[in-house]
Amino acid sequence: SQQGEEDPQALSIQEGENATMNCSYKTSINNLQWYRQNSGRGLVHLILIRSNEREKHSGRLRVTLDTSKKSSSLLITASRAADTASYFCATDSNTGNQFYFGTGTSLTVIP
Amino acid sequence: DGGITQSPKYLFRKEGQNVTLSCEQNLNHDAMYWYRQDPGQGLRLIYYSQIVNDFQKGDIAEGYSVSREKKESFPLTVTSAQKNPTAFYLCASSKGRGVGDTQYFGPGTRLTVL
């Protein structure tokens, strides 16, 4: 399966700290995306990084991509209680026509 | 969630009944998708449609059916053949038909089989 896996499964930090979560995938990709899901809600797109990019920033978010290791990381700096959510990576496949979501990291930011 | 609506938010079904989940988008997106999410797990693709009157099976299509008669609508029917239908169902759409386009999600429908 192409499905990615996030690590850790759950993460609990204090407000103001940085949160890092990782995603590993199995086959070559064109793009990797990160999404956020608040409990019981739909997913919201955060950031897309293409296979020829190594790092991308958006506000307090920093995403890296290492295609040689088939892995990506999402860093949230200066976390806030409102960042509490589940975070998913999603990958396409440069040989297929589907889009695969990982199993998610559940982030809790303690005020 | 803007631009994509799903109804109802909560749905209860008796075993042996078919039930249809609604998904509508006003974003003028070509592609639409249905995912299933089980507790503590990621999303699994049920069906997707890249153009009106055409749709493709995803990884877990058995026991489900869809139609795409209009660009803005992509209803999902959970049939009695689906052995374990209790789950959270998410609909999404994307502007292009390319794999990997940003997907915009609805708020979800939580289906419970009694």
Per CB distance under 8 Å, which residues of A are interface residues toward B? 3, 29-31, 33, 40-45, 48, 88, 90-93, 96-104
Give the three-state DSSP class for A89: strand
pLDDT (tens digit per residue) in B61-104: 999 999 999 999 999 999 988 889 999 999 999 987 666 688 99
Q: Cα A37 vs. chain centroid, distance in angstroms?
A: 11
pLDDT (tens digit per residue) in A6-15: 889 999 999 9
Mean pLDDT, range B105-114, rounded to an integer: 94
pLDDT (tens digit per residue) in A51-78: 999 999 999 999 999 999 999 999 999 9
Residues in B closer than 8 angstroms to A96, CB to CB, are 99
pLDDT (tens digit per residue) in B12-26: 999 889 999 999 999
Q: Per-residue pLDDT for A2 more than 80? A: no
Contact B58 A40 (CB under 8 A): no
C-alpha torsion B2→B5→B11→B17, nearest 10? -150
Q: Residue written as tokens 């008669």?
A: B69
Q: Residue written as tokens 């690590």?
A: A7
User: What's residue A92's pLDDT?
Assistant: 83
Closest Cα in chain B to A48: B102
pLDDT (tens digit per residue) in A71-98: 999 999 999 999 999 999 999 866 656 7
User: What's residue B93's pLDDT?
Assistant: 94
Q: Please return the burial class of A44, using the count of CB atoms within 10 Å of its CB with bins 0-12, 13-18 and 19+.
A: middle
